[in-house]
Structure 1
Amino acid sequence: MPQDAKCPKCAHLFPVTEARQAFTVACPRCDADMTVEFKKPAAPPDAGQAPYDVVVKPGALPDGTASLKAARRRSDDDDSESAGGGGGGSVLIVVFSGVLGLLFVIGGLGATGWVLFTQIDTSETTSNWSSNRNNNKGNSSPGNNNQGHPGNNTGKTGGGETAPPLPLRGQTGFDLRPVSGGGPSITPPPLTDNVTPLDLPGRVGQIAVGGGGRYIVMHFPDKGQLGVLDVATAVSQFVEADRGDRVRIAAGQSRVVLFSPDTNAVQVFALPDLNKVAETPFPMSNCQSIAMGSRTNGPVLAVSTSGDVVLADVTAGGVKLIEGSSEKLGVSSNNLRAAPDGTAFTAFDGVGANKVKVLTELGRKWKVTEMGPAPFPGGDGHFYGNGTAFNRTALPVIPTASGTWYVPAISGSGGDFVKLAASDTATGKRVALTFHAGRNPNSPVPGTPLMVGPEIDNLMDARGNIAPDKAPDQHLFYSPEAKLLVLLAGNRTRFLLRKTNAN
């Protein structure tokens, strides 16, 4: 019977099947090799308890001989116990055993048929993948960016793809655990001027944060490009990618996931060089949004147009469905965000929505919590938004203030955020931007500037309303470690890099 094994590297729990000898298995989350062995407990287990203790050791099995011998000794012991110490056997026992064996075979065939015809999830995932790929086979042309890129051995290969495996029903659940260890270091970039403009190759569509806040990843739907800005060096680079406004991206510690709905395929790129390392079919049909923690390398959460959710592990070989994570939650697929540590996600209709749904894991199942208008997860585990911030139990941690928005920093875990405050003045509507720490909205960080200007004014009106296409967390990227604010400006065609340690 399957029992849970715990990865010694990332503490991920996953089921392993009972075996009589030690074996090597890779963690489905972090790909770390480990040795798993089933051992009989010292005392007989109570009713309902697992019959064996699962012993997990880091690293692959160096030499299976010793473990194999131990497994054989255990097998011999089990056989001796089954024999009960008796010698020989009568003809009646032999005949009776043969009849039981025949019944067992017949029963096994029946059970196999029952699984095949009742337990396979015959969703449209595979059929949609096949039909989408067939519909695109005839569209290969020099101008079609959905067919891979010259010189890239991991691109699409026409008829060589395989559909994703069909998941079995009766799955055992999943877990979301914080990642351990630090990401790439973040330091102030070598900028001479207080404000440095950076022109981009085109209009930015999807945008995400990776590398624990060091990298800002952009997709250019009109140009068919993927780009990354390193806030610690102020250097950007770009590579070819699929075109279209329907393309979705998510970024993690060292990987970027790009989903193309036209082919229902997902591509995995490495950070920060954006080398494409894999391309596979996506394990969900009608995917609308994806998100991944910026300090993780998965899992990535996907939400369909009907509000179904599923988690997928991200590896060098592509993405793979996490069994037990698929559920019909009915959450909004219009907007999706991930906490930096990957343990919480927010789903909401629009930036100005009064209700936000927070998705977390409890008991290896999804838990959905409804809270007020705070859709942006911060590195401190809280959620920021329209004049307030909440913890994971939907209790406010910042008093509500009208006409303001709080946008969490893209790096760090000390409750750093940007505050936008709108007001009417004698010269018209103005929006002021200030920098804050420790979830304190009343006192800006000493030495940081008060920022005003047309690019900031365009983010909200005098009553604090945000335009649907002006989500502040998609336009303002504050890194306390880099002492830098990156503002997406110029109709989403350029960055303004503003030092935060200079008035």
Structure 2
Amino acid sequence: MRYISSLVPENACQTRSFPAPVLEGLRSQLSFWLLVVPVLVLVGKSVACAADGLSEDVLTRLKNATVMVEVGDATGTGFVVQREADSALIATNAHVVASNVNNFWEHTSVVFGGGSTEERVLVADVLAVDVTSDLAILKVSARDLPEPVDIDFPVEIRETLSVYILGYPYGESLATKGNHPAITVAEGNVASFRRDSENRVELVQIDGSINPGSSGGPVVDAAGHLIGVATAKVKGTQIGFAIPTETLTSVLRGNVSEIDISGRKINRDQCQLSIQLQTIDPKDNIQSVKLMTVDKQGVESELENAIANRLIEWPQLSPTMAESQLKLGSKNSQRVTVAAPNAALVYQIKMLRRDGGISWTRPMVLEILETPPKKTPVAMAIDAPEIKPVEMNNTGKTIALPGPVKDIVVGGGGRFLVMHFETLQKLAVFDVSELKIVTYFPVDDQQVFFAAGAEHVVALMAEKNTITRWSLKTFERELTKLVPIPYEATTFSMGAASGGPILIGSARGSSVSSVDFFDLRTLEQIELDKAPDRADMHRGTQVRASADGSVFGVWRTSVSPSGIKALHFNGNEVTEYYEHDSAGYVVPNSNGTVLFTANGLFTNQVEAVASSIRRQANLAVPAVHGDYYLSIGIPEGSRQGEAKQPRVFLCRIDQKTPLVMLPAIPLHLVDGDIWSRDPMTIDKRVFLIPRAEVILTLVETRDKLEAVRFDLDATLDSSGLDYLFIHSVPPKFISAGEVLEYQLEVKSKRGGVRYSLESGPDGMTLTKDGFIRWETDLESAPEKQTIIVSLSDDSGQSIFHTFVLQVRK
């Protein structure tokens, strides 16, 4: 068992530390101290008996209300703040319920009456976490719960005031006879106050000896009234800190946190605001949240007076403020359009509560960017390098790698595999046609994210906060820039046959995340006219891009259900489709029309494909290009850890049954392949590359590639099917004024293929050999065209080839 602290006494058990974000502001104020670390129990002289300070009744009540919080293999402290007939709310620190720096437990255990004959352990739900104030609210359901600590009595806190701290220092280290430890009561005194820019007390400084392990414990006066929540200490000193009671009551009442607003002009009189905030509402008391805005020029005197008065509770600044309704509980960006005739706005957040209360945040000035962003055309599918068939014998080939691969992506439209060798601090470019590594790129960063497109490799060095681009033609570094992502990077993706965009996901804790898109040519952020309703790019998020860069499949490995999400990128707009279910990985095919999962195929709008091959314990892996995919049957023994060879079938998206079972492929499956918890999912270990006539697999130790010859024509002929397929991938985008040229590639058993253009724009032509040409008009070309081509062959079969072409102006 570990107690939450950064202090390790001699011979004590291992500890861990979670930095509380509320201390960020302190670091500048307390720069003369060596280090501020979260978690404390403030200890001076022990309270020998109740008569020395706290009365017997008060002491008993406080001890009954204080609990030990067990989170995984660590412990902290909490205390009851509200009691109902069969439930109670418990306050503790946010960093106590953190599973790591960026995520929080959904459930914990709490121990009442630790070390006593009346000890009982209950499961607690984590209702709310406010990272900014380092507070969390838990809920337990049971009868006969103790009465709460008094948090409503207005205590006049002054320097030298004697205080008492209750908690569980050193966690299980102080337990006896196999029980949980008994509560510890200690004494200290108020030494100082740390105030924020609004003159509110942000932290109460306590002077006294400090022991680790009681984060979240109550700090009370001699009458048992709460004056704060223990939260932090200065390492190597007897200086500790407590979060004031007013902050806790604000969290219980319902509040907003982590407010981030930016604005940009969209015309002379209006601007578009991008808003991020987190609703903290453990008691479901907030009825609505509104953004209030007003032009700065009309309220300058009111603003000056309000700021000069340094109010604790802020009123509405002006009755002329306009209201914009915001979403409750949203963790991600919301966009609203407001009046903005001049260069600056004043805004407040207004909260209406179910108990009738109304409150406003401090009025803030927002400078508006005067000009709308230049809309940079973003390249999508472009010509990728030529892919030549692999030269090798029919027995296959084993290619040794210089070390274990940490991650791998496809680039050059399937011509290259780009691998990260973490121990070497390098990215390696593997030429599929040559079956060898042809160059290395240095990536000397502890946290590297990378992706590849048709002509480039890009890497994000998270610690340096830089993004670098290399050419896949010259293998030279072309550009490095600082990357302005808002939070800690979590995911990074780009289409393997595209010229962008680059998707970068980032998050701060478990409350706020962002998804941003970057232009591959400039490495600048793309300003979106339409963004996803919710980002959900927290740690554990996995993203896969279609080869043309138009669709991104998203799922999360850290939650259940893991979600099935598709983000459609179209110029300056991103549209989201989502199903709240689990299907393992979510991998788009090359042109983004179909999503491949461990539970069958879905459309790119996340609707199950009824005609797809859906078998229990089958994995679907799309080909790098075209409509083919592998259906991999997981042997029963594989799920029990036994080494059994899976059966692999070649399939097509438009066929209900497999085309043919393939010969044995060296393929290792792992227990987690169905649920895709490991980032190295099956699509990163098996690569079907028809144009190279090869299937590549990464071996279990990840230090070798196995190459198996794959001749599509011979495979189709061996199937015995009378097949007629479209082999080529149609274009999805064209810029107005350009010429569309598209050669249909068809696979036919009987031959004699005939083509007919059934529907298309004026001026489009189709030759007898299946070549489509269309000269688009810069002015009059419609934004969307549906093209339908019918095909037949000598077998008498006929099929349709239908695709939608977006025309960008």
Could you say which TM-score interval applies, normalised by the shorter chain? 0.5 to 0.7
In the superposition, relative to structure 1, how do residues 449 and 113 fare at CA in structure 2: closer, same or farther (>3 Å)?
Answer: closer
Aligned to 2:535: 330
Once the 2 structures are TM-superposed, how far is the Cα of residue 250 of structure 1 from its aligned partner?
0.9
Aligned to 2:605: 393
> Is 1:231 paired with 2:432?
yes
Aligned to 2:414: 213
Once the 2 structures are TM-superposed, how far is the Cα of residue 404 of structure 1 from its aligned partner?
0.2
Q: Name the amino acid aligned to 1:314.
A: L
Contact 1:359 1:366 in 2 (8 A): yes
Please give the secondary structure, in 2, of the residue aligned with 1:322: coil
1:474 to 684, 687, 690: 684
Aligned to 2:39: none
Aligned to 2:664: 451
> Is 1:190 paired with 2:403?
no
Aligned to 1:440: 655
2:618 to 372, 388, 404: 404
In the superposition, relative to structure 1, how do residues 186 and 459 fare at CA in structure 2: closer, same or farther (>3 Å)?
Answer: farther
Please give the secondary structure, in 2, of the residue aligned with 1:314: coil
Once the 2 structures are TM-superposed, how far is the Cα of residue 460 of structure 1 from its aligned partner?
4.7
Contact 2:617 2:634 in 1 (8 A): yes
Aligned to 1:376: 587
Q: Name the amino acid aligned to 2:553.
A: T
Q: Distance in 1 between matches of 2:496 and 2:473?
A: 13
Q: Distance in 1 between matches of 2:430 and 2:561?
A: 30
Q: Name the amino acid aligned to 2:438.
A: Q
In the superposition, relative to structure 1, how do residues 419 and 267 fare at CA in structure 2: closer, same or farther (>3 Å)?
Answer: same
Q: Distance in 2 between matches of 1:303 and 1:449?
A: 38
Task: Write the deviation string for residues 60-105 of structure 1: whole angstroms up to 9, x where unpaired.
Answer: xxxxxxxxxxxxxxxxxxxxxxxxxxxxxxxxxxxxxxxxxxxxxx
User: TM-score scaled by structure 2?
Assistant: 0.38
Aligned to 1:345: 552
2:574 to 362, 366, 388: 366
Q: Distance in 2 between matches of 1:273 and 1:458?
A: 36
Contact 2:532 2:576 in 1 (8 A): no
Between stretches 434-443 and 265-274, larger displacement belongs to 434-443
Q: Distance in 2 between matches of 1:284 and 1:168?
A: 22
Contact 1:336 1:346 in 2 (8 A): yes
User: TM-score scaled by structure 1?
Assistant: 0.60
Contact 1:178 1:343 in 2 (8 A): yes
Q: Distance in 2 between matches of 1:198 and 1:428?
A: 22
Q: Name the amino acid aligned to 2:489.
A: C
Contact 2:565 2:606 in 1 (8 A): no
Q: Distance in 2 between matches of 1:168 and 1:207?
A: 42
Matches within 5 A, 1:145-164: none
Structure 1 or 2, whichever has the larger Rg, is 2
Q: CA RMSD in A?
A: 3.6
Task: Write the deviation string for residues 382-425 of structure 1: whole angstroms up to 9, x where unpaired.
Answer: 11011311112222221432110101111x23x11111102337
Q: Name the amino acid aligned to 1:451.
A: A
Once the 2 structures are TM-superposed, how far is the Cα of residue 365 of structure 1 from its aligned partner?
3.5
Q: Distance in 1 between matches of 2:391 and 2:472?
A: 21
Structure number with higher helix proportion: 1
Q: Distance in 2 between matches of 1:321 and 1:237?
A: 31
Task: Write the deviation string for residues 319-360 of structure 1: whole angstroms up to 9, x where unpaired.
Answer: 111122676723234211111111111221139965221111
Q: Distance in 1 between matches of 2:429 and 2:387?
A: 15
Q: Distance in 2 between matches of 1:118 and 1:273?
A: 45
Contact 1:404 1:421 in 2 (8 A): yes
Please give the secondary structure, in 2, of the residue aligned with 1:309: strand
Q: Name the amino acid aligned to 2:556.
A: D
Q: Distance in 1 between matches of 2:702 and 2:561?
A: 23
In the superposition, relative to structure 1, how do residues 335 and 291 fare at CA in structure 2: closer, same or farther (>3 Å)?
Answer: same
Once the 2 structures are TM-superposed, how far is the Cα of residue 437 of structure 1 from its aligned partner?
2.9
Aligned to 2:524: 320
Aligned to 2:211: none
Once the 2 structures are TM-superposed, how far is the Cα of residue 484 of structure 1 from its aligned partner?
0.6
Q: Name the amino acid aligned to 2:516.
A: V
In the superposition, relative to structure 1, how do residues 464 and 314 fare at CA in structure 2: closer, same or farther (>3 Å)?
Answer: closer
Please give the secondary structure, in 2, of the residue aligned with 1:319: coil
Contact 2:403 2:703 in 1 (8 A): yes
In the superposition, relative to structure 1, how do residues 363 and 279 fare at CA in structure 2: closer, same or farther (>3 Å)?
Answer: closer
Once the 2 structures are TM-superposed, how far is the Cα of residue 452 of structure 1 from its aligned partner?
4.9
Aligned to 1:262: 463
Once the 2 structures are TM-superposed, how far is the Cα of residue 186 of structure 1 from its aligned partner?
1.7
1:423 to 628, 635, 646: 635
Q: Distance in 1 between matches of 2:629 and 2:561?
A: 20
Please give the secondary structure, in 2, of the residue aligned with 1:187: coil
Contact 1:402 1:464 in 2 (8 A): no
Contact 2:416 2:429 in 1 (8 A): yes
Aligned to 2:295: none
Contact 1:225 1:238 in 2 (8 A): no
Q: Distance in 2 between matches of 1:172 and 1:278?
A: 21
Aligned to 1:32: none
Q: Distance in 2 between matches of 1:459 and 1:423?
A: 11
2:501 to 275, 299, 303: 299
Q: Distance in 2 between matches of 1:391 and 1:168?
A: 41
In the superposition, relative to structure 1, how do residues 466 and 114 fare at CA in structure 2: closer, same or farther (>3 Å)?
Answer: closer
Matches within 5 A, 1:95-106: none
Once the 2 structures are TM-superposed, how far is the Cα of residue 191 of structure 1 from its aligned partner?
1.6
Q: Name the amino acid aligned to 1:433.
A: V
Q: Distance in 2 between matches of 1:312 and 1:252?
A: 13
Contact 2:549 2:569 in 1 (8 A): no
Q: Distance in 1 between matches of 2:519 and 2:633?
A: 39
Between stretches 361-370 and 388-397, larger displacement belongs to 361-370
Contact 1:383 1:391 in 2 (8 A): yes
Q: Name the amino acid aligned to 1:224.
A: Q
Q: Distance in 2 between matches of 1:464 and 1:484?
A: 25
Q: Distance in 1 between matches of 2:471 and 2:618?
A: 37
Q: Distance in 2 between matches of 1:168 and 1:422?
A: 58
Q: Distance in 2 between matches of 1:425 and 1:221?
A: 32
Task: Write the deviation string for residues 290-312 of structure 1: whole angstroms up to 9, x where unpaired.
Answer: 11111212110111024301111
Q: Name the amino acid aligned to 2:622.
A: P
Contact 1:344 1:358 in 2 (8 A): yes
Contact 1:288 1:304 in 2 (8 A): yes
Greater relative contact order (Cα < 8 A, sep 6+): 1
In the superposition, relative to structure 1, how do residues 439 and 223 fare at CA in structure 2: closer, same or farther (>3 Å)?
Answer: farther
Aligned to 2:22: none
> Is 1:290 paired with 2:492?
yes
Q: Distance in 2 between matches of 1:428 and 1:269?
A: 40
Q: Distance in 2 between matches of 1:428 and 1:342?
A: 36
Please give the secondary structure, in 1, of the residue aligned with 2:646: strand
Contact 2:453 2:497 in 1 (8 A): yes
Q: Distance in 2 between matches of 1:428 and 1:228?
A: 31
Matches within 5 A, 1:197-208: 197-208=398-409
Once the 2 structures are TM-superposed, how far is the Cα of residue 114 of structure 1 from its aligned partner?
6.1
Structure number with higher strand proportion: 2
Contact 1:176 1:361 in 2 (8 A): no
Contact 2:620 2:630 in 1 (8 A): yes
Structure 1 unmatched ranges of 5 or more: 1-14, 19-109, 121-166
Once the 2 structures are TM-superposed, how far is the Cα of residue 169 of structure 1 from its aligned partner?
9.4
Contact 2:456 2:469 in 1 (8 A): yes
1:281 to 478, 482, 491: 482
Q: Distance in 1 between matches of 2:604 and 2:662?
A: 31
Q: Name the amino acid aligned to 1:418.
A: L
Q: Distance in 1 between matches of 2:473 and 2:570?
A: 33
Matches within 5 A, 1:73-222: 111-112=342-343, 118-119=366-367, 178-179=380-381, 181-222=382-423
Q: Name the amino acid aligned to 1:303.
A: G
Aligned to 2:710: 500
